Amino acid sequence: MPLHCGQFKLDLSRPLVMGIVNVTPDSFSDGGRGADAALRHALELLEQGADILDIGGESTRPGAAPVSEQQELDRVLPVLEGLRGVAVPLSIDTYKPVVMRAALAAGASMVNDVDAFQADGAFEAVADSGAALCVMHRKGSAQTMQLQPSYEDVVAEVMAFLHGRIVAAQQHCIARDRIVVDPGFGFGKTLEHNLTLLRELDALSCLGVPVLAGISRKSMIGMLTGRDVEQRAFGSVAAALMAVEHGARIVRVHDVAGTVDALKVWQAVRQD
C-alpha cells in the first residue's frame, strides 16, 4: 500500500532514504547551519539520492535550548520555500501545531513529530492537509528521557504506545495510509533497549503501517564503535541496513550517499 504524502504517493516496495536537514545552531551532529547553508545542504542531499527531506528547526537532544514558535518558523520557512517544487516530499520535524500548519502551507507534505502528535491541536493541524504523519515513541520528556529509562518489555511498550497513537489519529479522521510509525531510537532508551528494538523491529510491522527508523550518528553508534559523532557514518549505514533488513521502509539519515549505495546492494540481493 503506498504512503499518501500530500500530492505524493510513495511506493514503499523499495526502502526510502529520508535525508536530515537541520536548521539549528545546536543539533547533536550537524548543528550550526543557518537557512542558506541548510538549503545548500538539502540540495546536496537531493543530488545524493534522498527520497524525502526532513527539515527541523529545533534540536531534540537532551538539554537542547527550547526554541520559540517564531524562532522555529524563522529557521524552517525559508528552507521550505527555497525547496518548493522539488521532486521529493518535504517533511517538517516539529511537535508544535503552529509550525506544522505554517510548514504545510509552505509546501511540506509530511509532518514528523517526535512527540507523536500529543500536543493540543497537533492532529487537527494536520488532519485536513492530506500530508503524511510520522508518529514516534519517546519515553519521558526531552529533559527527562535519558535519566535511567526502564521498561518491562521495551518492544511491547513501544508497540502499545504506537498502536494507541494510530487509533487516536484515526479518531481525527486521519487514514491509516497516511501514517508511519517510528520506535524512536535513543529517545528514552539505553543501548540495550535500542539493540533489542533493532533486533525485533519486524514486530512493529503488525501495526499495519510502514516503519521508519532513525539511528543515524546516534550515541548507540558511538557506544558500539567508540567514534565521535562526525565519524559515525559507517556504523550508521550498517544500522540503517539492519533496520531495513528487519522491516523498516524509511530510514532517516545524515549520510545519504553511503546509505543509498548500501540499500542498492541490499535491494539487488533481496530481489534474487
- Collapsing DSSP to helix, strand or coil, 54 comes out as strand
Is 252 catalytic? The answer is yes
**CA separation (Å) from 91 to 21, 50, 76, 117, 197?**
10, 12, 11, 15, 24
59 binds ligand HH2 (CB under 6 A): yes
Q: Contact at 8 Å (CB) between 177 and 152? A: no
185 binds ligand HH2 (CB under 6 A): yes
* Least gap, CB of 67 to ligand HH2 (angstroms): 11
Q: Contact at 8 Å (CB) between 166 and 214? A: no
Q: Contact at 8 Å (CB) between 270 and 244? A: no
182 binds ligand HH2 (CB under 6 A): yes
Segment interacting with ligand HH2 (CB under 6 A) among 34-42, 53-61, 71-79, 139-147:
53-61
* Binding-site string for ligand HH2 from residue 121 to residue 160, where x marks contact by CB under 6 A and - marks none: -------------x-x------------------------
DSSP 126: H
Whose grid coordinates read 523491529? 201
Q: Which of 96, 165, 218, 232 is catalytic?
A: 218
Q: Identify the residue among 61, 101, 163, 227 touching ligand HH2 (CB under 6 A).
A: 61
* Least gap, CB of 218 to ligand HH2 (angstroms): 7
194 binds ligand HH2 (CB under 6 A): no
- Collapsing DSSP to helix, strand or coil, 43 comes out as helix
Burial class (CB in 10 A: 0-12, 13-18, 19+), 259: buried
Q: Identify the residue among 29, 94, 194, 236 touching ligand HH2 (CB under 6 A).
A: 29
Is 218 catalytic? The answer is yes
Note the residues at the interface with ligand HH2 (CB under 6 A).
20, 22, 24, 27-29, 56, 59-61, 93, 112, 114, 134, 136, 182, 184-185, 212, 214, 252
